[in-house]
Structures are given as structure tokens and as C-alpha cells.
Amino acid sequence: MTTPVLDVQGLAFAYPDGHQALFGVDLHVHRGERVAMLGPNGAGKTTLVLHLNGILTGGRGSVSVSGLPVTPANVPEIRRRVGIVFQDPDDQLFMGTVRADVAFGPANLGLRGAELDARVQHALEQVGMAEYADRPPHHLSFGQRRRVAVATVLAMEPEILVLDEPSSNLDPASRRELADILRSLDVTVLMVTHDLPYALELCPRSVVLSGGTIVADGSTYDVLTDDALMSAHRLELPFGFDPRSLPRSS
């Protein structure tokens, strides 16, 4: 087997107030996979994600990205390899134009001139926002801002794209457009979501995190049709949505 692009082994973490958020999590994701992380509120999903690029450290166990351990010394390189798109795009967009926002990260890596321009253009083309490059982000719709937030991460050429609730607050058209974009990307995806139909549409594999441990890891279809598992971990499908009624993809 090849080295996992993401390798989490025995990760346990307690906050300073004593709250134990993770209890020995093991997670292995290989290059090119699209994996959904499901689980109830308070399961530890955010805590786990914040370990993936070194925002949180100091727990027991290990995290590595393509064989590089997530340690304080490696954090700058890890943050290039692991791009996190947060739930609120306004947490990531703070420059005067879309172009400047997307250029910010690569410029901090030392890119300049034509190389930087090409990186920005490519990232914006990947999310269908090239024509908005000179617009102020606050003039865009929420869905457009989310796509630009994805572009700011893609411009860093990450190995893993981590998305926190990517479909939240999107209208149906924006939701579909983002799904089309995510399917087209040649990047490993870890998607944290409560949107179970979106997980089924985009991610062949799902892991369920509950009570700080991974309680299931398998095909998204199998997870969503395991009634006992779903009930035990407070996962509920939207009214009228039944994965069993859909054709199974190969």
C-alpha cells in the first residue's frame, strides 16, 4: 500500500479545562479519496480537523501528511499541504479584491510576478470565478464567496482539501454548482458535514466520529442505510430522503 496522504494514529486530546475531546482516533486517507466525516454535534470533528494542520497540538498520538509529521517545526509546510475551507467564507476573505485574496497565500510563500498571476488565475478558473477577479468579495453572493474561499486554498496547491460544512447556507443552485466543482478537483477531500445527502452525492467513503472515537468507516451508502448505527449516533436523514431508493453508483 502507498503511504496515506493523511495518517492519524491513536490521536487523543483534552482541552485545558479537562474536557476530553478525542480518545485514540485512527484515520487513514489515501491520495484522491473523497471522504465525509459525519457525527453529532460535540463528537470531536472540529477538534480533529484542527489537528490536521497544526492549529491544535500537544495531544497523544500522531498526525502526518504524506509522511511528514505534524509538529511545530513542520507547521508552515503542513499548512501548505492541508488547506481548510471554513464554514463562513468571511473568515477567509479580507482583502480588497478577489484576486488579492487568492494571491495572499501564494505570495506569502514567495511567489511573485507571472508565476503568482498564473497560480491565481488557475485557482479562480477551477471554481468558476475568474471573471470576478477584480470584484470586492463583499459584493459577491454567499455562494460566490464560498467558491472564492475554496480558491484561496486551491492556490496553495494543497494535497488535502478539508471542507467544514461546505453546503451550509447555500441555495439549491449554489449547492449544485459547488458539488460540480468539488467533483472536478484532482485533490484529496475530507468533508465535515451534517448534510447527509451531500455526503452521499460527493463522498464514496464516510467515517462517523461520535464521543471522540471513530465508530464506523465504510461506504457512505452502507453507513447511511445502517439504521441502528444512525440512530445510536444521532444521525438523521432529511424527511423523504431514502438512499435505498437511489441507484447505487459503481
Contact present, 98 and 134 (Cβ < 8 Å)? yes
The pLDDT tens digits for 138-174 are 999 999 999 999 999 999 999 999 999 999 999 999 9
What pLDDT band is residue 203 in, cutting at 50, 70 and 90? very high
- Domains in the chain: boundaries: 6-245
Q: pLDDT-derived band of residue 41, with 50, 70 and 90 as boundaries?
A: confident
Contacts of 226 (CB under 8 A, 6+ apart): 216
Question: In the predicted model, is pLDDT for residue 247 greater than 80?
Answer: no
Q: Residue 248: pLDDT above 80?
A: no
How confident is the model over 7-35, as a mean pLDDT? 95
Q: What's the chain's average pLDDT?
A: 93
Nearest of 91, 87, 92 to residue 104 by alpha carbon: 92
d(CA 239, CA 248): 20
Q: Answer whether residue 73 shows pLDDT above 50.
A: yes
- The residues, any chain, with a CB within 8 Å of residue 140's CB and separated by 6 or more, are 98, 132, 148
pLDDT (0 to 100) of residue 250 = 42
User: C-alpha grid cell for residue 199?
Assistant: 455526503
How large a percentage of the chain has pLDDT more than 90? 85
Q: What pLDDT, on a 0 to 100 scale, did the predictor assign at position 14?
A: 93
The CATH number of the domain covering residues in 6-245 = 3.40.50.300
